[in-house]
Amino acid sequence: MDALANILETRLFINGEYVDSMSNQRLSCYNAIDHSLVTNDVHAATKEDVDIAVAVARAAFTGWSSTLPQTRAKILNKFADLLEEHSEQLSLLEHVCSGQPMLAMKSVFIPAAATRIRYSAGWSDKLSGQSFPAENGFLKFVHREPLGVCAAITAFNAPLMFMAAKVGPCLAVGNVIILKPSEKTPLSTLYLGRLANEAGFPPGVFNIIGGAGATGAFLAEHMEIDRISFTGSLATGKKVAQAASKSNLKRVGLELGGKSPSIIFADADLDNAVHWCTRGIVTASGQMCNASSRVYVHEDIKEEFIQRMKSAFEGIDISQTQAPVIDRIQLARVERYIDQGTKESSLLTGGIRMENSSWIRPTIFVDPSPDATIYKEEIFGPVVVISGFTDEQTVVEKANDSKYGLHSAVFTQDINRAMRLSSKVSSGTVCINCTIMVDVGLPFGGCRQSGWGREGGKIGMEEWTEPKTVFVKTLPLVY
């Protein structure tokens, strides 16, 4: 494909230049739709490459952290503009890897990434500190400083969105960064080096490296990296945290998995609930950390809701609007869960691949046992389990019965009940009469094993800074 060949970049971007990896190791990237080879020349960063990237980033930190905040904002805003100007190229690079529809890239993902960058740019000169009344001859105040050299590892399902959520705040407050995309969808991120140069980032401020798990480990365990932010699976997130603690105790941000519950009360608007619960699990073929994968329905409306949900699932051709399951490994994983589910629960619809494709038909299981695998574990596919309930306290206990705590939803027309459950349900985000909502100005993250820290909003900006307390001994006035 000539259009792809003209924009394809597979090398490392370090110190403002595209360079070869220090080794001959190359990774292959496959198309998620038909598993055809896109390229077998993605350079994998070695430990030596990571050391070089860290060294140039450290050298660039002094200048970038002392750059006027308004100048940092101007460069970030230019970068956001370039994301939109290169929408066609970025969409193609993402489409050939993940199978994400070009229309979705152009209308949703790239505009959202640009918005996140601009939002962060706006905070460049607005992260204020605190001052306290003078006491016993001392002035006291707190201000925030950048951490230094940071690393970020993004997941395969929305690489540009995750890039913006990490790179934007990191650079806006004066840090420098080394970014590693998932080896499954690296191409759109690797392309960003040319945009970084055009935007005006000084060499060493914004570095991008390819690689698989070993490269991520080099970042997590590096003694000269001050913070690492990771989006991905729970298992890998634990490895990142362990490596960070065993090395230099670097700061860690983790955005991990979920098994998000939706609670449908008898007074809910059923059309609305079905719409959102369907959207919450079929979007991206269920490959979202906040996917609405558990649904609890009041027994009074359970059968009607299930039949409406079944009709909605069977009326969707997700191959026309959603990315497929990312690769053969994940397809096999989802199919193993479905096979296990047929032994633990009642399969209502779906459960098979669409003919000759990498899409799995949206799948509903009904009334799984409380210890069923499909009820407990994150599947990361278009698979939902539906259970009934009769009273509020019991359903809250069921909703909170998970090692995850990322996202939840409550459907009711009783505002008192809605507000009551927004406090009782244990998750980082609670949606009322909707699901999977995210806003750049609000913190996103979870409790328990869904991760550490938050992305988005002022809180997300502060994650990339260190508070410093200052005491000033004042001299008494002499008249």
pLDDT of residue 479: 67
Q: Is the pLDDT of residue 1 over 80?
A: no
Give the Å distances, CA to CA, from 418 to 9, 63, 298, 397: 49, 50, 15, 16
Residues 236 and 344: their CA atoms lie apart, in Å, by: 27
Q: Is the pLDDT of residue 477 over 90?
A: no
Tens of pLDDT along 341-375? 999 999 999 999 988 789 999 999 999 999 999 99
Entry pTM: 0.96
SS3 186: coil
Q: Any idea what DSSP says for residue 108?
A: I
User: What domains are defined for the chain?
Assistant: 2-256+450-467 (3.40.605.10), 261-432 (3.40.309.10)
Mean pLDDT of the chain: 97
SS3 content of the chain, % helix, strand, coil (to 5): 40, 25, 35
Which of 236, 179, 246, 233 minimizes the C-alpha distance to 213?
236
Active-site annotation holds for 84: no
Residues 191 and 180: their CA atoms lie apart, in Å, by: 12
Mean per-residue pLDDT for 99-127? 97
Tens of pLDDT along 30-87? 999 999 999 999 999 999 999 999 999 999 999 999 999 999 999 999 999 999 999 9
Which of 94, 183, 221, 255 is the catalytic position? Answer: 255
Residues linked to residue 296 through DSSP beta bridges, in sequence order:
263, 387
Q: What confidence tier does 126 reach under pLDDT thresholds 50, 70, 90?
A: very high
Does residue 98 contact residue 156 with C-beta atoms inside 8 Å? yes
Share of the chain above pLDDT 70, in %: 99
Tens of pLDDT along 214-242? 999 999 999 999 999 999 999 999 999 99
